Structure 1
């Protein structure tokens, strides 16, 4: 139920299940039309609807952008032990990997050195902790919510509390009543990009307006990425989406192309963080230290997971 604060008109609507993508899209379009047509005749909001700027992440005030980012980091740190492993597939498309989150945490004076990389990555992509329930992460724009009890914490398995029931969170953001609690198989990983609503301003592609920053200065000490790291596709398109392609202005990152708001936010909050080439990221991933950490993580995960006892039978000599 929606209620207009100006004319007092009421509107009932439902988007249905996302399982049927076509029906969900048609319901969304129908609801969008009713949002304008359901007002009273002389309602001021009927002729002056919500501006599109309300559906965009504000990138004009750098101090405010960084302040909001740090607030999300502080909130997520409260439930850092409950955060699962993150999937960096969509993030890596724009040149952001786990090593970037670790690098930013180690070099930024405003952050504690023991801040988990999951906290940094989720904060960069617009996620924060729900104020009413510290076991729920919520998007600061589209308000999508996810219960952390449905995920396996990084490096461990969920603690057994004597009950396998999982609490359900509906789209309105309120916890479901106990009678509607259901069992959900915990997921081992979380994708911070695909978990947003499809229309979320954090992941929607848009070009920054002219009054916003069109060029983001990077540290002059940052070396220009090796042009040999660029792939043929990068050369044809003028560089990779993450800005890792060779060539171009070494001191600035051109931002006149359409990019997600979270990418623009990373470039503003942490200039130069995404200026590394993909070859450098790949080299770091393949280094002996990173490989060793992956092996240790696998061993710890294997130890923490329940295993079926194996019985070995010994044959006595006849």
Structure 2
């Protein structure tokens, strides 16, 4: 590691895709109480208890290989003196010279998730009981069941926290944070493998009138019902999210301009034909499709310009950004 990274106020470690430690900074060495030569070339799990090895396998590896990153994972290492060291871990999986590596930043944490504490206590009891005679079998079985139950509870809590962090609480759709993470991932795939996709920005026409006329509770109901309708119309691979206010967004994978406009038109027509009670709802949509050199800002900017064109042309219509360029 570069010299300036050796003493930054967090531990840094780089491991191979198989978990072998490739590089570690001095801060992490001091935290764990090891010399550099004692860790380099060893498996990262050699610094973990049995319980944390299990947690690492069931959560960290699958998640980072699926999503390319792990954010704010509560975890524990075991120091050279066999003490538990609670940490907050952030990791990213990256390719370098044709190989994948996992780079992690590690902050010491003084507070532990209560479920994790209970699991460690239960595991300690199990390790002690395994050394005793057969008379402890009945108690050992009960503790083993408790350990498994708490492990499942911890995994469920982590899943719920992850879902909550990426879900819009009003509509139940994915939220802006999740959408932006996925947009960056799709742009990266486009730059590397030339996999095109399209982006939709969807806006409710005259939404302020609904809030002013019927009140915000009705406005919230409109947003919720529209979200359910859009999700029901989306293809399995499409990502529909709430962007903010009355705006929704959708990523349409493997879709050129014509396909994306077709999807957008199906959204628009369904909303126009739906029964909304005392009021009527229409939507305007702006569409952009990936082009060379695209970034998050350029794709959103073109789709937003196309949305403005839909609004300016009378609303309740779909406009693709490419048609504006041609015009």
TM range (shorter): under 0.3
Structure with higher helix content: 2
TM-score (norm 2): 0.25
Structure with higher strand content: 2
TM-score (norm 1): 0.25
Higher relative contact order (CA 8 A, sep 6+): 1
